[in-house]
């Protein structure tokens, strides 16, 4: 309690210790003196034990997930970010993210939920009142119909029996998780928005380590599919007869204008929406098909993409989406901040690393490096000197990093800004950060700025099925989102997730061809939204393929990093 004030009239502990023997001597009792000393000894033993107990009461001791331990203990904080054990109510920041979140969750079991805002103070995008209202309605629906409820148990029984008529007032969207971490965040966000638009309960695969990396997003319920789910969904493939595309292809579902069934409505439909999906699978994004799917109690979805831009092209959803997101390019930004809260081990590593290496800098630059060269499987991450030069060219030409001048040995006193820039790099390879660090350590910058380069991990290869690998990846996404400016690699879902959480428009490194760096090296993104890499180009109304859907509405455009993809932009940015 004294840390927060209220102890001004108390005698310091050292003075109490010095005074105690004198007071007992006046009484002439040696036994009293010994008792006082014994009591003080017990106090000294109890104090650290009580402090440790206080930490343990917060939950299990957090585990550091990176290979190199952080320097120091994070207490010397330039930005006055308090220790993670302090109650968040004592800190002035918008922990509820403008109303996206609600009070009532246990802060100690998931620290990131209410502490996220401490490290993202500059993001000014405000969620709409209508989005907040709809999130509260969705939470009530998830609680009413989620795992363990009577409605859920009834729905499972109906699904097991193969009943074709929905006897409950709860409809479900179950998302099969299978891709890398960046893709997972994009696909979950897309599925959640679709559930929001169609009044469905979102459930996700419980066997893909989701609970190890993310806290539960909904109050008083779980978003994990129950272990007694009756379908062997891991066996579903693109060619499964239950897939919507196959049902259309085999004319189980017919009709030129309005979809109709030859037989009874199925108890569930499997939606195959992976990047290699076929023509009939893509009809999911048509108005008539959406009207048909409304009556199916269970939709089981497999996707590895951010399909939100195509939802904006479905007429029946356009008005609702405009109300939810008046700023069109904030879909992922708001929904990801609502849905994703790293578990305590990950959050501890994120905040400890930030405090040790990034907090004291005057400026933080995030550089996310993803290599797409195909020069042999053992060399797919490099080293590729042309990519190193592309990164430096982008950073220096766009004034994100200072240019390099004379060598450190030859330079005299350099008059300049006397500032420090911390560069956070993320890559499967350490070579690029090592080279950038070497350049700036061996040479002075032209303006006197000190540049320090850090990289939390380098896994060499992507291991999307490895839990610790995914924990490191999520930690690095959140660290990138805490930087002031971002350089990302085009086509990378990892970078998309970081820029969306940050609410910052990145500079995008364009993909090189024939091992030659592009000119220009990078360009500013059109928005903070991810790109839908494999968007369909079928005009549902005209029933015509190969139509440029990036010209249908002013807020859906072709991506700057993937020419065949679609992304959402703000009309004011055009």
454-491 pLDDT tens trace:
999 887 767 667 889 899 999 999 999 999 999 999 99
Rg (CA), the chain: 28
Confidence of residue 252 (pLDDT cuts 50, 70, 90): confident
Tokens (6 digits) for 193: 């928005």
| Coil, helix or strand at residue 489 | strand
pLDDT at 514: 81
Residue with tokens 């036994």: 31
User: 72's torsion region: left (phi>0), alpha (psi -120 to 50) or beta?
Assistant: left
Share of the chain above pLDDT 70, in %: 78
CB 268 within 8 A of CB 300: yes
List all residues 6 or more positions away from 113 whose beta carbon is below 8 Å from its beta carbon.
101, 105, 107, 215, 341
What's the mean pLDDT in 140-163?
Answer: 94
Q: Minimal CA–CA distance to 229: which of 151, 134, 128, 159?
A: 159
pLDDT digits (tens, 9 = 90+) for 172-207: 999 999 889 999 999 999 999 999 999 999 999 988
Q: Using CA atoms, how far apart are residues 182 and 170, in angstroms rounded to an integer?
A: 30
CB 383 within 8 A of CB 429: yes
Cβ(157)–Cβ(470) below 8 Å: no
| CA dist., res. 517 & res. 190, Å (int) | 33
Q: Are 172 and 200 in contact (CB under 8 A)?
A: yes
Who contacts 141 (Cβ-Cβ below 8 Å, separation ≥6)? Answer: 170, 199, 201
Which residues lie closer than 8 Å to 483 by C-beta, 6 or more apart?
A: 358, 364, 365, 366, 424, 502
Chain center to CA of 36: 55
Q: Which residues on neighbouring strands pair with residue 404, listed in sequence order?
A: 445
Q: pLDDT confidence of 374, banded at 50, 70, 90?
A: low
Tokens of 130: 């209508």
Element (H, E) at 202: strand 201-204
Half-sphere exposure of 137 (CA within 13 A, CB side): 12
> Residue 300 pLDDT > 90, yes or no?
yes
pLDDT interval class at 132 (50, 70, 90): very high
Q: Is 80 exceeded by the pLDDT of residue 412?
A: no
pTM for this one? 0.85
Give the mean pLDDT of 3-13.
37
pLDDT at 2 (0 to 100): 35
Contact status, residue 554 vs residue 318, Cβ threshold 8 Å: no
101, pLDDT greater than 60: yes
Residue 302 has pLDDT above 90, yes or no: yes
Compute the mean pLDDT over every residue in the chain, rounded to the nearest whole number.
Answer: 84
Question: Looking at residue 174, what DSSP letter applies?
Answer: E
Measured CA to CA in angstroms, residue 385 lies from 49, 177, 366, 381, 457 at distances of 54, 36, 20, 11, 20
Output the pLDDT for position 260: 58
User: Structure tokens of 98?
Assistant: 């403008």
């Amino acid at each position: 309690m004294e840390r927060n004030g209220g102890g001004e009239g108390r005698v310091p502990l050292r003075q109490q210790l010095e005074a105690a023997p004198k007071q007992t001597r006046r009484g002439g009792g040696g036994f009293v003196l010994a008792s006082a000393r014994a009591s003080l000894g017990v106090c000294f033993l109890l104090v650290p034990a009580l402090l440790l107990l206080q930490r343990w009461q917060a939950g299990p001791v957090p585990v550091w997930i990176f290979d190199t331990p952080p320097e120091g203990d994070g207490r010397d904080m330039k930005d006055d970010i308090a220790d993670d054990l302090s109650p968040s109510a004592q800190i002035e920041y918008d922990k509820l993210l403008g109303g996206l979140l609600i009070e009532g969750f246990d802060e100690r079991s998931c620290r990131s939920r209410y502490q996220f805002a401490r490290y993202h103070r500059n993001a000014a995008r405000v969620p709409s009142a209508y989005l907040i209202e709809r999130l509260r309605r969705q939470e009530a629906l998830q609680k009413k119909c989620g795992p363990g409820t009577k409605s859920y148990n009834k729905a499972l029984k109906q699904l097991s029996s193969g009943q074709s008529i929905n006897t409950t007032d709860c409809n479900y969207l179950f998302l099969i998780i299978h891709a890398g971490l960046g893709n997972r965040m994009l696909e979950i966000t897309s599925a959640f928005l679709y559930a929001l638009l169609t009044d469905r309960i979102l459930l996700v695969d419980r066997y893909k380590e989701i609970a190890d990396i993310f806290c539960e997003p909904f109050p008083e319920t779980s978003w994990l599919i129950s272990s007694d789910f009756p379908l062997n969904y891991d066996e579903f493939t693109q060619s499964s007869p239950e897939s919507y595309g196959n049902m259309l292809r085999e004319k189980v579902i017919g009709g030129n204008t309005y979809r109709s069934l030859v037989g009874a409505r199925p108890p569930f439909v499997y939606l195959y929406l992976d990047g290699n999906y076929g023509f009939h699978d893509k009809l999911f994004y048509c108005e008539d098909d959406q009207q048909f799917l409304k009556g199916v109690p269970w939709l089981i979805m497999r996707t590895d993409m951010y399909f939100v831009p195509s939802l904006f092209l479905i007429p029946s959803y356009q008005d609702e989406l405009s109300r939810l997101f008046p700023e069109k390019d904030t879909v992922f930004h708001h929904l990801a901040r609502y849905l994703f809260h790293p578990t305590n081990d990950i959050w501890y590593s994120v905040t400890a690393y930030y405090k040790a290496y990034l907090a004291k800098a005057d400026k933080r630059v995030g550089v996310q490096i993803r290599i797409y060269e195909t020069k042999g499987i053992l060399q797919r991450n490099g080293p590729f000197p042309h990519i190193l030069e592309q990164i430096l060219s982008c950073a220096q030409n766009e004034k994100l990093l200072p240019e390099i001048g004379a060598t450190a040995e030859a330079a005299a006193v350099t008059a300049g800004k006397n500032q420090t820039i911390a560069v956070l790099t993320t890559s499967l390879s350490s070579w690029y950060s090592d080279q950038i660090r070497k350049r700036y350590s061996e040479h002075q910058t032209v303006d006197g700025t000190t540049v320090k380069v850090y990289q939390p991990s380098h896994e060499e290869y992507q291991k999307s099925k490895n839990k610790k690998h995914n924990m490191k990846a999520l930690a690095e996404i959140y660290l990138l989102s805490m930087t002031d400016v971002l350089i990302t690699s085009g086509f990378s879902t990892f970078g998309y997730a970081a820029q969306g959480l940050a609410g910052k428009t990145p500079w995008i490194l364009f993909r090189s061809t024939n091992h030659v760096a592009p000119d220009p090296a990078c360009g500013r993104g059109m928005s903070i939204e991810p790109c839908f890499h494999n968007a369909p180009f079928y005009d549902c109304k005209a029933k015509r393929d190969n139509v440029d859907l990036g010209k249908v509405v002013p807020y859906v455009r072709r991506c700057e990093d993937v020419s065949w993809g679609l992304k959402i932009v703000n009309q004011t940015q055009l």
